Amino acid sequence: MKDTGEIICVQTDSSARPFSRVIVCSQRTIPAQRENGQMPRKTDPAKLLEVFPNPNAKRDYTIRHVAPEFTSRCPRTGQPDFGKVIVEYIPDRTCVELKSLKLYLQSFREMGIFYEAVTNRILDDLLAAMNPRYLLVETRWTPRGGLRSIVRAEHPIPESCCGCG
């Protein structure tokens, strides 16, 4: 069966009678052109993020979410990249809803994007969705070719991070 992205009927037997249901084949996009270290995408993953009111907005407290099975694709080779995403934040008025965060992170599965770009993209999208008092996104990537990468992006950047505070 060819993956065309169109609605198709699946045939049941040699008499070519279709099932009573239709199947929508998913479209996979691996465009050739890159922008800012990432391949263009069909839909905006940020639209998947949902928030709810912070039940304790007057108090500073930390929320930490860990996604140990994050996957994306290398934009140069198309090979899968496996890693862990850690999101830690101090909420202000809203918190991110967990199922929407899971679906958002899964939306990167077939996207060709560099480690640095995806880490900063997650930070930017979460900032836009919930505007927390503090946000850290850390990605820890499975070693490839003997190299292991850890990328951290924070908002706001702590004064003591570069030794000047």
Is 74 annotated as catalytic?
A: yes
Contact partners, residue 14, CB within 8 Å, separation at least 6: none
pTM of the model: 0.72
HEC sequence for the chain: CCCCCCEEEEECCCCCCEEEEEEECCCCCCCCCCECCECCCCCCHHHHCCEEECCCCCCCCCEEEEEEEEEEECCCCCCEEEEEEEEEEECCCEEECHHHHHHHHHCCCCCEECHHHHHHHHHHHHHHHHCCCEEEEEEEECCECCECCEEEEEECCCHHHHCCC
- List the pLDDT tens digit at each of the 165 positions of the chain: 444 443 333 333 344 444 333 333 333 333 334 455 554 456 799 999 999 999 999 999 999 999 999 999 999 999 999 999 999 999 999 999 999 999 999 999 999 999 999 999 999 999 999 999 999 999 999 998 899 999 999 999 777 655 554
CA distance 89 to 49: 15
Which sequence spans correspond to the domains of the chain?
Answer: 33-162
CB-CB contact of 37 with 59 (8 Å): no
Given its phi and psi angles, is residue 75 left (phi above 0), alpha (psi -120 to 50 degrees) or beta? alpha
Domain boundaries 33-162, CATH class: alpha beta
Q: What is the pLDDT of residue 35?
A: 52
CB-CB contact of 51 with 130 (8 Å): yes
Q: How crowded is residue 51: how many other Cβ atoms within 10 Å of its Cβ?
A: 18
Q: Which of 9, 25, 60, 81 is catalytic?
A: 81
Q: Which of 74, 95, 125, 161 is catalytic?
A: 74
Is 81 annotated as catalytic?
A: yes
Q: What are phi and psi of 133, to 5 degrees?
A: -70, -35
